[in-house]
A and B are shown apart, each in its own frame.
Chain A
Amino acid sequence: METFNFLDKIIGESILSAVLSALLPLIFLIVYALIAILGELKISAWIQERLGPMRTGPYGILQPIAEVVKLLQKEDIVPTNANRLLFNLAPFVMFTGAFAGFAVIPFSPAFAPAHINLGLYYIFAVGAFAVIGIVMGGWASNNKYSLLGAMRSASQMISYEIPGALVVLTAAVLANSLDLQEISLAQSGPFWNWFLFGGPGPWTKIWVIPFTLLLSLIFMITSLAETNRTPFDIPEGESELVGGYHTEYSGMKFAMFFFAEYANMFIVASVLTIVFLGGWNSPFGEFMSGYFWGVFWFTSKAMFIVFLQIWLRWTLPRVRVDQLMFLGWKVLLPFALVCFIVLSLYRILY
């Protein structure tokens, strides 16, 4: 299956097609964010044996719209002694970082907004924007809780980024590429060709499956840390830091942080999908595969990962800072290193 951008095919490679390619993920992101907010509300309620929102629309499906309208109406407060410029900039930096990640995500063989050959590297690079946004917001708020949250976020980043980067490196080794479309293409075929199950190869590859499973697990954990979600919501722990870095934010700026968190969730879910779950590939080989089915498979796989994140959030308590450090440096890093070495050897030998 060849890869291309269908907008370039239709209207030719022009500024218009570039703008449309950038707008399409934004529309997708807005719709996705509404669904994810509703999913979060409903799944958390069901896990706690509640019903969740039931009054807005049938079964409360309009609740996310109501929440967005509520946030839009709220008063926008800037603390007197805050650094106004940085305070106002921080949510936008964070959202820009989250949205920039969408630029390289291949939704289908026929659509990746920007087809660059360093996609995986690029996603990790712009993902770090989130931390800049958090540190900016936390410092500019002129509030001890915000600052503590920001500092925790920075310390959290250095402990999860390294095992995460090792996982991504291993994926690059397995696929021989950093291009997300290439990585997806390398896993074409039925589901046992996914990198979750060792990638394509003869049945003798079976001995690497535990290592790839472990790697996907490590990436799942680091992605939770990257999105600042429970059990790694240390920077915004409500019970310790009021709201962490977004304590002083209200109204639309808070909504931007909120939005960026959900966008980040989708970014890491889609990286996990592309690297380990075959991206837009159908799990049944040629059956139900194609340009439109690609969108379906990609979004359903990514949404499943998002569901997993929400599920984990309502299952686990928050870890302490030292526990996160221990997990990052003493558990994830050695395991990821071992997997990296083993899979690199496997790649050389076969």
Chain B
Amino acid sequence: MIDYFKSVWAWFHTILIGMKITFTHLFSKKVTIQYPNERYPIPHNAKNRLQLYPDLCNGCMQCARVCPVQCIDVETIRVVPTDPDKPVMGDGTQRKLWVSVYDIDFAKCCFCGLCTTVCPTEAIKHTTDFEYSSYTREGLIYHFSAMSSEQVEQKKKLFEEWSAKEKAAKAGKVAEPSSVEKGEN
């Protein structure tokens, strides 16, 4: 009998305790962050979308080779000695390769960060940007190359001219070795 009253009291009492807890929660600070209007701070070293700094990239293609999902697509053109631009890299050294194409397909990217690890010039970095969704798959392919298509055409032509000359010079070297030095500068 006493147990019965005790258990009835325990029910009632614990319900009151529970109601007290929920009542305090009713007025406590809410944890919701209303996302598009306010954001949770992202650490600056977060591994989100990749970003290439084209003036730092020397076109070594290590990133493209190490990528486990092959999402990086790089094409380069050799900088010929006769190039009128005399391009320099971000750190002031002579540029050896024009990076004509540098595409990353973020639909494939798995954010492993291997490309940033292998990059000798730290040209590719993760950013904190994670809101880059797109309606099309093409919209997720980012073109990072700083060169315009005319520039690429021009550089390709320069390289072709130069390599043709070189070939001719090589052919001529067999016959007339002295002319190579002149062409080589």
Contacts and interface: CB of A to CB of B under 8 A. Distances in A.
Contacts of B27: 46
A51 B18 contact: no
Interface in A194-227: 217
B23 interface: yes
Contacts of A312: 15, 19
Interface string B9-50: 000100100110111011111111010000000000000000
B44 to A, nearest CB: 28
Contacts of A50: 30-32
B8 interface: yes
B173 to A, nearest CB: 76
Interface string A234-247: 00000000000000
A331 B29 CA distance: 39
Given A46-B25, A49-B28, A331-B8, A315 B34 contact: no
A49 B30 CA distance: 5
A311 B23 contact: yes
Contacts of B23: 311
Contact of A315 (B8, B22, B29, B31): B22
A315 B30 contact: no
A54 interface: yes
A47 B26 contact: yes
A316 B25 contact: no
A176 interface: no
Interface in B114-170: none
A315 B19 contact: yes
A62 interface: no
Nearest to A43: B26
B15 A51 contact: no
Interface residues of B, number: 17
A316 B18 contact: yes
A50 B8 CA distance: 33
Contacts of B21: 315
Contacts of B28: 49
A314 interface: yes
A195 B22 CA distance: 28
A48 interface: yes
B32 to A, nearest CB: 4
Nearest to A312: B19
A314 B34 contact: no
A49 B31 contact: yes
Interface in A296-320: 311-312, 314-316
Contacts of A49: 25, 28-32
Interface string A29-66: 00000000000000100111111001000000000000
Given A315-B15, A316-B15, A331-B8, A47 B34 contact: no
B25 A48 contact: yes
B26 A46 contact: yes
Contacts of B12: 217
A314 B18 CA distance: 10
Name the residue in A54, A217, A315 with the highest tally of chain B Cβ atoms < 10 Å from its Cβ: A315
B34 A54 contact: yes
Contact of A311 (B19, B29, B32): B19
Nearest to B15: A316
Contacts of B25: 46-49
Contacts of A48: 25
17 contacts: A46-B26, A46-B27, A46-B30, A47-B22, A48-B25, A49-B25, A49-B30, A49-B32, A51-B32, A51-B34, A311-B22, A314-B22, A315-B21, A315-B22, A316-B15, A316-B18, A331-B8
